[in-house]
Structure 1
Amino acid sequence: MPRRVTSVRRAAQIQRVLLGILAANLVVVVVKLVIGLRAGSLAVLSDVVHSSVDAMNNVLGLVVVLVASRAPDEDHPYGHQKFETLGALAIVAFLSVTAFEVAKGAIKRLAAGAPMLDITGAEVSLLAGTLVINVFVAAYESRRGRELHSDILLADAAHTKADIFVTLGVLSGVLLARVGVTWADPIVALLVAAVIVLVAYRIITGSIPVLVDQHVLPSVTIRSAAEEVEGVVRAYDIRSRGSRGRTFAELTIAVNGSASVERAHDVADAVEGHLRVHLQLHEIIVHVEPC
């Protein structure tokens, strides 16, 4: 029961973070959309798509975290946490479509010739304001993602960090296009697409190992820690899997063959406690064999 309470509390905290970030992202989307449509800037409009994906990701995250927080059941004895990692991959799908559409629009505009932009100083200042919002959102979401060991928050934070550089690029392109360098706008849009692809790649490389049960700790690390416990002759058949803050491990320990069943059980409990404290493992299964 305590573990279930902790899971529910964690989900509620993640959802509060996502709701706050969703509100901030919606403000950014509206500001960029108004400026992009009025000025006719492809770079700004492509950034609108990027920011809209952020908002959609926040909504997706709210749903995914709710599902991931459910207690283990008969069909999902290890819990539902991987749904959160799947949510991170869904972000990749959105990013991929965005990158393609932005690149396509930029290439068409370069081929046809980019028009002059009509953008005011006040609108440039508003774009700079969205940059400030992104800086605060990225820092806050990264910190809370690490504290809550949340894949969805960390993935979204990575996306938001990319937004900072994207908006910087968009601002540069807009300023150049404003003074007559019209090709700067579609070129910046292409750079936006490249950044989006890079963010998607980073999310994939962080999510796939979790889904395919790649080990989260080297076996030698778990073995060394287990063999520090008094009564353990050796540890072997070691496996681990999981994600940040929700790691699972299974191992076999050899104990003296003359030890009683009760003593062997005590040693196994000691190993479990030692690994939980020193390696921050979430759930541990210890098999005992005589030697």
Structure 2
Amino acid sequence: MSDIAPLNKDSDHHSQAAQVATRVTVIGMVLDIALGILKCVAGILFFSQALFVDGIHSLSDAFSDLIVIAVMKASRRAPDQEHPYGHQRIETLGTMLLGTTLIAVGAALAWDNLERLISQADAPLPEWPVLVAALLSIGGKEWIFRYTRRVGRAIRSDLIVANAWHSRTDAFSSVIVLVSTAGAMLGFVWLDALAAVIVALIVGHVGWSFTWSSVKELVDTGIPSEELERLRNIARETEGVRNVHELRTRKMGQDILLDVHLVVSPNISVSEGHQIGMQVVDRMRETLDDIAYINFHIDPENDDEFEPTTLGLPERKDLDALLEDKLGVTIPHGRLRLHYLRNKIHLELFFDGHALDPEQSRIEALKQYLDSQPWFGSLRVWRS
């Protein structure tokens, strides 16, 4: 018996999250454009290649912000018929696109400035306005980093959090520009080119971390082993659960999708087995808030310990016909209970002492016949 227990996420929730994400991203984009233009112009006018590279970094942030806005709008749509698990994979693809963009920008800038550093070409000393531009960049980017990260955590968006850290790298790079410019103004001109290379490598490193995390998610990497074991223990400790096997997870955006097989007593009803499964679902969600869907399967025996029951065993309709032939009466609906365990069928018959109930001799003949069948496990007859 299998069932899926989704977390209720209505369209209003998704819409509100998308609106909040768009607002913080637009604010960051405006800041990135302003700082990017300021740093590029100041870098050219006041002879700082490092500041110019930092300006390109800020403008790349603005480009990534556009990607984030488009991706968030698409990924935060509510589940529909074609995408029953939602659209969070779009967010993962957007994060990967953002990461690869940063890798490309970082590699190009690092190569250009590494050539300049190796050639040791004469260059004019940076001037004091470079320091002012770097300080403005540090303050602005640190503020937008903290604001964006807070929003990303609130709406549970890896993409927004990643974009926040993208802003933090811009602040780090501006610190490097500040220090290198001060050194260059003291006569160490090569510090400017070295700082430009370091900033470019930082950009590429951040891009690689975003890309790699997205790739792992796209190939359905599970949650950490310690969290998986914690969920397994929660299921085992739930009353009515005998064992747990085939516990699997995968990430889709910030959401966790989970599949679990729960071993319960083979003698309980279907509804009781389902109720036990729902208890497990509730306790797991109390432990991890990010679980969106839990697909649980109720097993009467552990398939890992015993050979799974084959499909070649007789079905109910076949057994109804057999019993009618051997007992000479039609078994009313609900009076025959079947247990398919360890490749055997165990039968339970319930009679209420009615005059049409079969004679004991016929039941003994039925037992004798069943003992000769390879699929037979046991027969229990109950009389009220």
TM-score scaled to structure 1, two decimals? 0.93
The one-letter code of the counterpart of 1:283 is Y
Instruction: Say which is worse superposed, 260-269 or 239-248, in terms of deviation.
Output: 239-248
Q: In the alignment, does 2:293 pair up with 1:283?
A: yes
Instruction: Say which is worse superposed, 210-219 or 131-140, in terms of deviation.
Output: 210-219
Q: Residue 167 of structure 1 is aligned with which of 174, 182, 187? A: 174
Higher helix share: 1
Instruction: Say which is worse superposed, 51-60 or 204-213, in terms of deviation.
Output: 204-213
Q: Is the 1:114–1:183 Cα contact (8 Å) retained in structure 2?
A: no
> Deviation at 1:160?
1.7
Deviations 1:139-180 (A, max 9, x none): 222222222221111211222222222111111222222233
- Give the whole-Å Cα distance in 2 for the aligned partners of 1:41 and 1:15: 34
Task: State which structure, 1 or 2, has the greater radius of gyration over its C-alpha atoms.
Answer: 2
Higher strand share: 2
Q: In the alignment, does 2:219 pair up with 1:209?
A: no
TM-score scaled to structure 2, two decimals? 0.71
SS at match of 1:282: strand
Matches within 5 A, 1:37-56: 37-56=44-63
Q: Residue 115 of structure 1 is aligned with which of 111, 119, 123? A: 123
> Deviation at 1:250?
0.9
- Identity among equivalent positions (%) equals 26
> Deviation at 1:50?
0.7
Unaligned runs of 5+ in 2: 1-7, 302-384
- Give the whole-Å Cα distance in 2 for the aligned partners of 1:228 and 1:4: 35
The one-letter code of the counterpart of 2:214 is S
Taking only aligned residues, the RMSD between alpha carbons, in angstroms, comes to: 1.9
SS at match of 1:209: helix
Q: Residue 100 of structure 2 is aligned with which of 88, 93, 105? A: 93
Matches within 5 A, 1:76-225: 76-110=83-117, 111=119, 113-120=121-128, 122-218=129-225, 219-225=228-234
Runs (4 or more) in structure 1 with deviation over 4 Å come to none
SS at match of 1:71: coil
The one-letter code of the counterpart of 2:127 is I
The one-letter code of the counterpart of 1:226 is A
Instruction: Say which is worse superposed, 199-208 or 87-96, in terms of deviation.
Output: 199-208
Q: Is the 1:114–1:186 Cα contact (8 Å) retained in structure 2?
A: no
1:265 maps to 274
> Deviation at 1:201?
2.4
SS at match of 2:10: helix
- Give the whole-Å Cα distance in 2 for the aligned partners of 1:12 and 1:85: 19
